[in-house]
């Protein structure tokens, strides 16, 4: 089973390698099937829809969530902006 949900913090600003996050609340989004081919990972920055328009968020968790159990629907991740660096 592949992961279908992310939990992420909103990015307030990003200068060079320093990212400021809004950490008061972690939000969730659904990963559409076409983005699961190259799996989203912790540390990736993705573009998502919000109540105020589009926003960049930093992925903190990626996991599988079954709608039948949770009955929760989330907005969809639109695209991956930046991949996390690979650990060697």
pLDDT band per the 50, 70, 90 thresholds, residue 17: confident
pLDDT at 87 over 80: no
Domain boundaries, the chain: 5-82
| Contacts for 21 with CB less than 8 Å, ≥ 6 apart | 9, 10, 11, 12, 58
Per-residue pLDDT reduced to its tens digit, 36-84: 999 999 999 999 999 999 999 999 999 999 999 999 999 999 999 999 8
At residue 58, what are phi and psi to the nearest 5 degrees? -100, 120
Task: Give the whole-number percent of the chain exceeding pLDDT 70.
Answer: 98
CB 37 within 8 A of CB 84: no
Q: Enter the pTM of the model.
A: 0.90
How far apart are the C-alpha atoms of 47 and 13, rounded to whole Å?
14
Least trusted range by pLDDT, from 1-5, 8-12, 57-61: 1-5
Per-residue pLDDT reduced to its tens digit, 21-30: 999 999 999 9
């Amino acid at each position: 089973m592949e992961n279908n949900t992310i939990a992420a913090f909103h990015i307030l600003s990003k200068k060079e390698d320093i990212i400021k996050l809004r950490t008061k609340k972690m939000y969730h989004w659904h990963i559409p099937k076409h983005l699961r081919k190259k799996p989203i990972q912790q540390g990736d920055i993705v573009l998502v829809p919000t109540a105020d328009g589009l926003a960049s968020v930093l992925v903190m968790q990626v996991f599988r969530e079954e709608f039948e159990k949770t009955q929760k629907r989330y907005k969809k991740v639109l695209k991956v902006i930046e991949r996390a660096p690979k650990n060697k």
